[in-house]
Chains A and B, each alone.
Chain A
Amino acid sequence: MTQTITIDPVTRIEGHSKITLFLDDAGEVHDAQFHVTQFRGFELLSEGRPFREMPSLMARICGICPISHLIASAKACDELLAVRIPETAVKLRQMVNLAQMVQSHALSFFYLSSPDLLLGMDSNPDNRHIFGVAQAHPEMARGGVKLRQFGQRTIEILAGKRIHPAWIVPGGVTEPLTADRRDQILAMIPEAKQFILNALTLFKARLHEFADEIRTFANFPTLHMGLVTKANGLEFYDGDLRIIGADGKTLVPAVDKYHYQEVIGEAVEPYSYLKSPYYKPRGYPNGMYRVGPLSRLNIVSHAGTLLADQELAQFKALPDDQRQSSFHYHYARLIEMLFGVERIEQLLHEPDILSTHVHALASPNAYEGVGISEAPRGTLLHHYKIDDDGLIRYVNLIIATGNNNLAMNKGVLQVAQHYIHGGEIKEGALNRVEAVIRAFDPCLSCSTHAIGQMPLHIELVAPDGTVVNEVKRG
């Protein structure tokens, strides 16, 4: 008789989900489903609204990643205006996007995943959380708090407030940077860099303890997608949207953003509100690809800053099969944080960074706009169409987390098949099933546009559909 295991809710991730594991007659896992159980539907909510409202409306998709949506939305609106925004505005937007990445990665690495990485996957679950880390590794926890503060404070200094700022608008930004505020950000940079370097040192020293997880955490060949600079460096704001194969060879050097639907399909499964984007030429589900920190580092040839380039060289020296492991999203997050802080420092030293010309004014000059940027969790795409009155008539959003949906499902199956046998879920196995999802750092509030928190639920389902075991947490 087939059995099913359900994990509901999944803990230490952003949003609400559950996992169902299907067992065969021998009690071995033969299939897995990652269900995202919340729904919002901002695409429809937006129809009929003036396009200039879109950045502020889209920022409301998420309290964790509002800047990511502001950026992609503003870029789509720039296209509707058909303006080239001032260079200083581009740099200011780049900085705020990097600050968002740093604070989000800090939350993921230090608050959500460091309990697994520093205390152990099999450690006592009653103490396996950020408080446990604060007790056992207070320096590391303080570093996490400081890095999140760095990102949030930088956003606040640039954009006026941490959450849902109205500073990023179609055509640029509303206010220039002042010397005083520039210096406030610069003053935080040395400490932020040092905290990241400390975390990298500790993380790399402990990697050997996670050989099994590196081997089994969504470790399989997939395509990777992400933005790159013209010189194939790390890019979060603009650039070419590149798709490479697992062998590192480029499949699509630069997706034409107005024809992205010829390259990316969006499948829907009945068990989840999260869409399953795929690389269309390979069909569904063979066109599985990944996005986010791991993919970005696999795609680029270099980062573009001194310390991040040194760390990236070490990452690139890992064996090929390890660089495909989603466990290394954590490693990639640390390197990207380092890049983010260094790149913000570079931008703050640009000679025109205090220019007051930061906003291009125009009326709509196009009926269609597509904005693509890199959110912390991966490539984010906003696609709008407007009518003659500038009212929104069509919205399509491809959210970073959704891009990873197929890989997350396959990753859960891989981990479950490795750690769960005979229909029994041991605590360490349960944690690893969650941890593979956590490695992707999904933001389900963003990706399904949902209401509520996100704990975890695992169901073990028999061949006849009977739920034979169920674990709920959170």
Chain B
Amino acid sequence: MILVIGYGNPLRRDDGVGWAVIAAIQAQAPPDVTCLAVHQLTPELSEAVAHADVVILIDASIEGEAGDVHITPILPCRDGTPTMTHHLSPRSLLDMTQWLYDKSPFTLLMTITGADFGVGEGLSDVVRGKVAPLADLIVWCATQSCHADLKKRTTDAL
């Protein structure tokens, strides 16, 4: 099972790109894909992560040029000493999952660099243009059961 978690604030325009990708995936209703749209990564997600074969995290980024897409494999690692433990970094979420459930599924972090993080709904044109290709690739990979080379194929296609 592929777990796709889009996270961010859809009321801050491009910060909501994760939610938009999730909606685009859900519209295709692919088998063997579980989708979650959340505001932030929390410890409660660790149980869902533990049950997945592959996890894909989709977030907005402020680094690079607007519309840049980066795909990075993530390994469990605690990021500093947490003081606000109701939200986590991607690596810390995996670290929590490993400690609680002794599971560490293959995980990719997909980020799309935003152009507009102002107050409001809707994505900038450049970010909106990345939503469908990303969703299609995730659905295609799930359909083809090509979990292992997901990163390579996604990178090539983009």
Q: Which of B46, B85, B92, B99 contacts A112 (CB 8 A)?
A: B85
A-B CB contact pairs (8 Å), 12 listed: A12-B83, A63-B39, A107-B86, A111-B43, A111-B85, A131-B78, A145-B43, A146-B47, A148-B44, A453-B83, A454-B84, A474-B84
A148 to B92, CA, bound (A): 18
Cβ of A455 to closest chain B Cβ, rounded Å: 5
**Residues of chain B at the chain A interface (Cβ within 8 Å):** 39, 43-44, 46-47, 78, 81-86, 92, 95-96, 99-101
Which positions 115-146 of chain A face chain B at CB distance < 8 Å?
125-126, 129-131, 134-135, 138, 141-142, 144-146
Query: Which residues of the other chain, A, contact B47 by a CB distance below 8 angstroms?
Result: 145-146, 149
A11 to B80, CA, bound (A): 14
Query: Which residues of the other chain, B, contact A148 by a CB distance below 8 angstroms?
Result: 43-44
Q: Which of B82, B84, B99 contacts A138 (CB 8 A)?
A: B99
Cβ of A272 to closest chain B Cβ, rounded Å: 20
Q: Which of A63, A111, A144, A146 has the most CB of B within 10 A?
A: A111
In the complex, are the beta carbons of B84 and A453 less than 8 A apart? yes
Name B's interface SS: helix
In the complex, are the beta carbons of A131 and B44 less than 8 A apart? no
Compute the total of residue contacts between A and B using a CB distance below 8 Å. Answer: 59
Which positions 44-94 of chain A face chain B at CB distance < 8 Å?
63-64
Query: Which residues of the other chain, A, contact B96 by a CB distance below 8 angstroms?
Result: 130-131, 134
Q: Which of B84, B99, B101 contacts A131 (CB 8 A)?
A: B99
Q: Which of A12, A107, A135, A152 contacts B99 (CB 8 A)?
A: A135
Cβ of A467 within 8 Å of any chain B Cβ, yes or no, is no
Which positions 1-21 of chain A face chain B at CB distance < 8 Å?
9, 11-12
In the complex, are the beta carbons of A145 and B84 less than 8 A apart? no
Cβ of A163 within 8 Å of any chain B Cβ, yes or no, is yes
Query: Which residues of the other chain, A, contact B99 by a CB distance below 8 angstroms?
Result: 131, 134-135, 138, 141
Q: Which of A111, A135, A473 contacts B86 (CB 8 A)?
A: A111
Cβ of A92 to closest chain B Cβ, rounded Å: 23
In the complex, are the beta carbons of B81 and A126 less than 8 A apart? yes
A142 to B46, CA, bound (A): 9
Q: Which of A107, A131, A149, A454 has the most CB of B within 10 A?
A: A131
